[in-house]
Amino acid sequence: MSGNSRSTPLTRADIVGGAMAIADADGLGAVTMRAIARGLGVEAMSLYHHVANKDAILDALVDAVFDEMYTPRIGAPWAQELRRRCHSGREVLTRHPWAVGLMDSRRGAGYATMRHHDAVLGCLREAGFTLEAAGAAFAVLDAYLYGFLVQELALPFGGDTERTEVVGEMLTAVPDGELRYLSEYATGRVCLPGYSFGNEFDPGLELIIDGLERRRVADRAR
């Protein structure tokens, strides 16, 4: 597509959508003003009528990702809402893996980002969490969500065969009788047919939610 082949007016939404398509296909490093312009069929300079610079595009990309995530309903059961929010976040970030290290890192947060954060805090506060506990809950839920995605996306294996081969290679380097708990977990769980690291997400999330509920109840009893 040439630099002047576009037949409809360019919008900011077009630019953000174009940047997201590039990031999804080739990673965040491939997102440049020239690449976005080329994909949209415009001259690179025309982008600056709608966005100030690449930083503004990165801010907008984060905002767009938050906009795709489920926004908790303030006043609804907190555990149900934040459980759904975490599941949605995992689905969205799996579609946009480049965003995992970018979330909450931008100084120029957009409205969708701030609205999402307000909803999470509102859900916790209206459920009876103290201000301190709401902040801690938000932090640990995000740490779990983002951290789990970092691990899941970085795993060096895919299906049963490849996973068994990779784990087998690792275990062959372990002297007999050593690292027995790691070996037990690898052979008794990871190498079983149908195992998926992703299946660990829900049990871990429930551990966190159970702990937060105990904190909420204890604070209200004081």
CATH at residue 102: 1.10.357.10
For residues 126 and 202, membership in a common domain is answered with: yes
- pLDDT score of 5: 64
Q: Which domain holds residue 212?
A: 64-154+192-221
- pLDDT score of 108: 87
Q: How many CA atoms lie within 13 A of 118 on its CB side?
A: 8
Whether 46 is covered by a domain: the verdict is: yes
Euclidean distance between the first and the last CA atom of the chain, given in angstroms as a whole number: 66
- pLDDT score of 111: 95
Non-local (6+) Cβ contacts of 61 within 8 A are: 16, 19, 20, 23, 31, 99, 102
Q: Note whether 109 and 58 are within 8 A (CB).
A: no
- pLDDT score of 177: 85
- pLDDT score of 158: 76
For residues 149 and 217, membership in a common domain is answered with: yes
For residues 100 and 76, membership in a common domain is answered with: yes
For residues 128 and 203, membership in a common domain is answered with: yes
For residues 101 and 198, membership in a common domain is answered with: yes
For residues 38 and 146, membership in a common domain is answered with: no
Whether 216 is covered by a domain: the verdict is: yes
What's the number of domains the chain is made of? Answer: 2
For residues 78 and 124, membership in a common domain is answered with: yes
Whether 81 is covered by a domain: the verdict is: yes
CATH at residue 42: 1.10.10.60
For residues 83 and 122, membership in a common domain is answered with: yes
For residues 47 and 104, membership in a common domain is answered with: no
For residues 28 and 79, membership in a common domain is answered with: no
For residues 146 and 211, membership in a common domain is answered with: yes
Query: To the nearest whole number, what is the mean pLDDT of the chain?
Result: 93
Spans in the chain with pLDDT lower than 50: 1-3
